[in-house]
Amino acid sequence: MKQKKTAIYIRVSTDAQREEGYSIDAQTEMLEAYCVSKGLKNYVHYTDPGYTGSNMDRPALQQLLIDVKSGLIDAVVVYKLDRLSRSQKDTLYLIEDVFNPHGVDFISTQENMDTSTPMGRLMLGILSAFAQLERENIRERTRMGMKERVKSGLWPGGGRIPFGYDYDQQKGILVPNKDAETVRKIYDLYLEGYSTGRIYKMLGMKYEKQAIQILERKSNAGYITYNGEEYLGQHKAIVSLETYQKAMDFMLERSVQKTSNGGHLFTGLLVCGKCGAKMRYQKWGKHECKIVCYSKDKSKPHLVKDENCDNAMQWAGDIENIVIDDLFSFSLKQKQIDDVRATTQSVLEVLQNRYDEASKKIKRLYNLYASSNDDILLETIEEQQKQLANIQAQIAREHERNALTNKIESVKKTLETLEETWEHMTKQEQKNVVRSCVEKIVISDSDIEVFYKFDIAT
């Protein structure tokens, strides 16, 4: 029968810990001295250099667990509790579910803890809780620091760098690389009407999803998305916000088209004005269709709003003619759009100048602090950073307004000549025009009301 051994477990995660007295040599020396003082001469080392204590994915620890379960270990000795684990859950699992069932004592020399005693087990629970609290506090401070970093327009770092960019660690920002031109090409082709399935093949990409991910990435337009919030980044945009927004609108329109059940002009836009249910095209005769409320369709009970709805059926052709005439009747006020655009550009210039001045001021303050270490300067720097973040938020809002204005202008230009070009459009082109500006079409018997996504006359 093999003689049981005492396991000396040692872990060091960073260079900083080695400097603070947690080095492998320092831990080994102290733990061996402890074993000798207790008469534990038959000991073996398990060492994990450069591994975090936040999880149990450590080779030496895993080998130790195997040896414990094989009955080869009598006791486990560590320099300090957090050397075993920084997770309360993992610590309790190791001792309660692994060490104790196999008759293995756990000893932490710095906390004077020995789980073979009731007091040692009590201390274990208390100290494990403190170790977990410390880890969560560190994580929270890191998260707060990361958020402030992103709010100032710097890339959060870590994870994958977006395709089309490199990461400048010194400046903390993204820098467009040789693939940026491919990113621009993806947006151009998509807005020209090519599907992502064709684009990825045309550009020699590995899979279609990559093209979709690139299109959806707002960092391409100069923004940073962090924890569900968007911030204006300091990095150079590959495409304009207007181009990005057009691509997203186009993607939404295509998704609506994919989920529609037919090729009818207003599928998905029709709403019953009496019960609020959706309405659909229903074939009537050999070549005609009528518009029918879904509340009258007993085969789809989940779409029924009022089974007694008495909204009259209307000929689809009549409804389409009324709505198309409504589209043709819009008069455009291009001068107003031009005035709004000029104002928006003017505001952006002012805000950008303020941002540049604030950035220079912060740099000067940091230089002063570096030479004087005056804590009052830190308060001034913090205040200036808040002002900088506020200016960034204003710039982001103005960019969004500018993108919306551009979208309105684009729709208006289409509507300017819509009456002349409508008959020459394909069915899909007609559907695209309708979905670019119509929110819904409400039908109450013979009354038709068209609701638009925005006021295109202003």
Output the CA angle 255-321-307, nearest 5 degrees: 65
Nearest to 64 by CA among 49, 44, 79: 44
Per-residue burial over 425-443, b if 16 or more Cβ lie within 10 Å, else e, is: eeeeebbbbbbbbbeebbb
Cα Rg of the chain (Å, integer):
33
How far is the CA of 341 from the CAs of 146, 222, 334, 409, in angstroms?
35, 20, 11, 10
Per-residue burial over 57-85, b if 16 or more Cβ lie within 10 Å, else e, is: ebebbeebbebbeeebbbbbbbbbbbbbb
**C-alpha to C-alpha distance for 437 and 34, rounded to whole angstroms:** 78
Nearest to 91 by CA among 101, 100, 80, 81: 81
Beta bridge partners of 378: none
Side chain identity at residue 446, one-letter code: S
DSSP 95: I
Active site residue 13: yes
Which tokens in the block code for residue 434? 């309708």
**C-alpha to C-alpha distance for 265 and 284, rounded to whole angstroms:** 17
Residues known to be catalytic: 13
